[in-house]
Amino acid sequence: MKTPASGTAAKPSQPTTRAQTPADTPSTTAAGTRGVPPNEGTAGAPAAFDVDEVLRRIEAAVQPFPKAALFELAQEGFDSAFEQLMACIVSIRTRDETTLVAARRLFALARTPAAVAALEVRALDEAIADSTYHEAKAWQMHAIARTVVEEHGGELPCDEAVLLGFRGVGPKCANLVLGIACGQPRIGVDIHVHRITNRWGYVHARTPELSLAVLQRELPRRWWVDINRLLVPFGKHVCTPALPRCSTCPVRDLCARVGVTKHR
Ligand code: SF4
């Protein structure tokens, strides 16, 4: 099994957590606890940023909301590496609600590499027609299915190099597949995970790829797979891209709200 550290390597001079900035050098514990400056709008002493506490609160807060699409599909039984990869490709630049419908429609037709490879590309395209860039995705997915049949004995291996070798598959999808379907400790950093961890002040990084490098270094492994499961619904319903709901947010007292100029 590959370890997460074998993915994107962090360089010392690269993005940092808030704890590592020159102006702010609090201690970091094994549990991921670190200090941050006083939060705007809170009276009194600096709040201690405890990522375990933050994610526990968010776990409770997202209970009423629909699950992130890949986790929902896994719970419905579409939990093989191949099914998760197909669904992740469908999900690219596509809303979760649309992804769920399209993926279920595809899996009603075909769930294995051999079955997808046997489909006409046109049939595959029709199944995922609501997804953004569906035609290009249909060709990509069909090519992946054929490769898995021809080169991997019909079963997609839980292997990062194999996944990243497919056209259109990047670190986000590879890590979600390896984390959800393969049981490996992996962090799926999508735009929600990137935005929210930076707003907390836990990560300072310009891109999701750079945030991944920081999180691999700082986030306790027990949260590696679940951080995506938690922050996707949290990012859609609470810490939204525009006008986050800070006034009712369950982690307001712990969040530095970096870059947040307006909120609800
Ligand atoms: S909603 Fe506001 S307080 Fe809550 S995590 Fe997002 S930026 Fe921080």
Position 82 pLDDT exceeds 80? yes
Q: Decide whether any atom of ligand 1 lies within 6 Å of the 236 Cβ.
A: no
**pLDDT interval class at 7 (50, 70, 90):** very low
Q: Which atom of ligand 1 is nearest to the CA of 246?
A: 2
Rounded distance from Cα 185 to ligand 1 centre (Å):
26
Cβ of 57 closer than 6 Å to ligand 1, yes or no, is: no
Which candidate, 97, 67, 72, places its Cα nearest to that of 83? 72
Q: Which residues pair with 49 in a beta bridge?
A: 34
Q: Half-sphere exposure of 47 toward its Cβ, with a 13 Å CA cutoff? A: 21
54 lines ligand 1 (CB under 6 A): no
Please, where in the chain does CATH 1.10.1670.10 lie? 15-65+188-254
Model confidence pLDDT, tens digit, residues 22-64: 222 222 333 333 433 333 333 333 357 899 999 999 999 999 9
Question: Could you count the other beta carbons within 10 Å of the beta carbon of residue 43?
Answer: 6
Class of domain 15-65+188-254: mainly alpha
> Ligand 1 centre from 41 Cα, in Å?
12
Q: What is the per-residue pLDDT across 177-197, written as a single tens digit (0 to 9) for each?
A: 999 999 999 999 999 999 999
257 CB near ligand 1 (under 6 Å): yes
Contact 224, 41 (CB under 8 A): no
User: Does ligand 1 lie within 6 Å of residue 264's CB atom?
Assistant: no
CATH class of 69-181: mainly alpha
Which residue stretches of the chain are H helix?
A: 51-61, 69-75, 81-91, 96-109, 113-118, 121-127, 134-151, 160-164, 171-176, 191-200, 208-218, 226-237
Span(s) in the chain for CATH 1.10.340.30: 69-181
> Which residue in this structure is represented by tokens 């400056």?
37
In whole angstroms, how far apart are CA 123 and each of 11, 175, 179? 45, 28, 29
Ligand 1 contact via 245 beta carbon (within 6 Å): yes
Under 8 Å between Cβ of 84 and 180 = yes
pTM: 0.81
Question: What is the Å distance from ligand 1's center to 15 Cα?
Answer: 21
DSSP 8-state secondary structure symbol assigned to residue 19: G
Q: Which positions ≥6 away from 213 have C-beta within 8 Å?
A: 8, 9, 10, 11, 14, 15, 205
